Structure 1
Amino acid sequence: MDANEVAQYLRENHDFFDRHAELFAIMKVPHPHEGRAVSLAERQVLTLRERTRSMEQRVSELVRAASENEHISDRLLLWSRSLLKARDPLELPGLVTAGLAETFSVPDVTLRIWGESGVEADAQAPWRAEVSADAKAFANGLMSPYCGPNSGFEAAGWLEREVRSMALIPLRIGIAPEAFGLLVLASPDAERFTPSMGTAFLSRIGELASAALSRLL
């Protein structure tokens, strides 16, 4: 019999070691991490311990991720609450940007809103500054937030200091094809916003910000 036939026989005869229990004590197999040989029973115990450690590590990772998600959800709730409490629509752009910067520790946050204003006295506000047609077209084309390096985006020029990575979040009402603004989260750290990051959370921020800022239209 070759090794494959032995393995197949053992798979088909699960009671083999029940009928030959003495083999556990006399059979020797290589230790998985050391150069010595151990009994079959000890090897099985080592295998089970490694599986247990792997499962414990996985559970620990899941618990940590759940804790981080809960912390993010709590902060998102605080930010959303501040937007709901605003009585004056002109306060909303500042609440959106300052709230994100403080609540989520983002170094730089700004936004632009274009189109006709439904609120008087905001024509000269900084968030109403001129935006090029190319930047508007770029925002219209974003079906989900952009997250990655600053590739010479016009929006980087809306901030006073160097931007090396950024998240660009289109502001739109529902599934409207055209955006009415752009929310910018930026950092001088090239690793703060990377293409490998998920954008689901940024999309939720965009939806909440869009709903709040639509009062200015």
Structure 2
Amino acid sequence: MLANFRNQVLDENLVREYLLDNPEFFNRHPELLIALKLNHHQRGVVSLVERRQEMLRSKVTQLEEEITALMNVAKQNERIFLFNNELSFQLLACKELSELRQTLFEGLKAEFGFTHVRLITVHDIDSELANIWRHRIHNNYYFGRLTQSESKRLFGSEVGSVALTRLSAENGQVIFAIASADAAHFYPNMDSLLFSQLRRLLSHLLATF
């Protein structure tokens, strides 16, 4: 019977399940931690202990990178919040539409390097702009790239990527358009928090002019 058992191929899934069900196995048999050898793509053959240590070091490194990334995002969000807060006060102080446009452009260009910032009011909109509006802006926003003709009609030149939104209906047809030279700066499904805050403020201010 024993001979027959030894000749049988042991199912590795059974071994795996046994070890998972008995996490104290290697505590009872610590000599196996050194005796067992694993292939390593750089160091050849290593012990189970060495392999475990390497996995832990790799996990720690990964967690450190994730924490660093989260901290960078937090710093970026804080920077955007402070900028948006300051810009909002500057816009609230504007007395005329031309002043508001200039303040908006200078603030966004200085902070983010945008090449174009436009407030396109109902008086500026023709059939071509209306077609861009209908084709691109859905659910109030569009983030991404434009065709060459669309870019030239909206901004007078080719641009990398754009953010478009329409302001509240009470102001008529008003398009808020930002362009970046970076083709990847604005992309579909990106976060619209800053844009939506500016949209609400601009809708309020335009109604007062």
Matched, 1:79 2:73: no
Q: Which residue of 1 aligns with 2:146?
A: 150
Aligned-residue offset at 1:46: 0.9
Matched ranges for 1:56-67 at <5 A: 56-67=64-75
Aligned-residue offset at 1:196: 5.7
Matched, 1:6 2:2: no
Distance 1:18-1:41 versus aligned 2 partners, 3 A rule: same
The gaps in structure 1 that reach 5 residues or longer are: 115-127
Which residue among 168, 174, 198 is the counterpart of 1:181? Answer: 174
Matched, 1:132 2:141: no
Q: Which residue of 2 aligns with 1:15?
A: 24
Q: Which residue of 2 aligns with 1:91?
A: 99
Distance 1:172-1:73 versus aligned 2 partners, 3 A rule: same
Q: Is the 8 A contact 2:87 2:107 kept in 1?
A: yes
Q: Which residue of 1 aligns with 2:165?
A: 169
Q: Secondary structure at the match of 1:103?
A: helix
Q: Is the 8 A contact 1:167 1:185 kept in 2?
A: yes
CA displacement 1:5-38 (0-9 Å, x = unmatched)? 111111122221111112122221223x425111
TM-score where L is the length of structure 1 = 0.77
Q: Give the structure with the higher percent helix.
A: 2
Aligned-residue offset at 1:182: 0.5
CA separation in 1, counterparts of 2:167 and 2:88?
A: 16
> Over aligned residue pairs, what C-alpha RMSD do you find?
2.7
Q: Secondary structure at the match of 1:186?
A: strand
Comparing 193-202 with 60-69, greater Cα deviation is found at: 193-202
Q: Is the 8 A contact 1:109 1:184 kept in 2?
A: yes
The gaps in structure 2 that reach 5 residues or longer are: 1-9
Q: Which residue of 1 aligns with 2:204?
A: 211
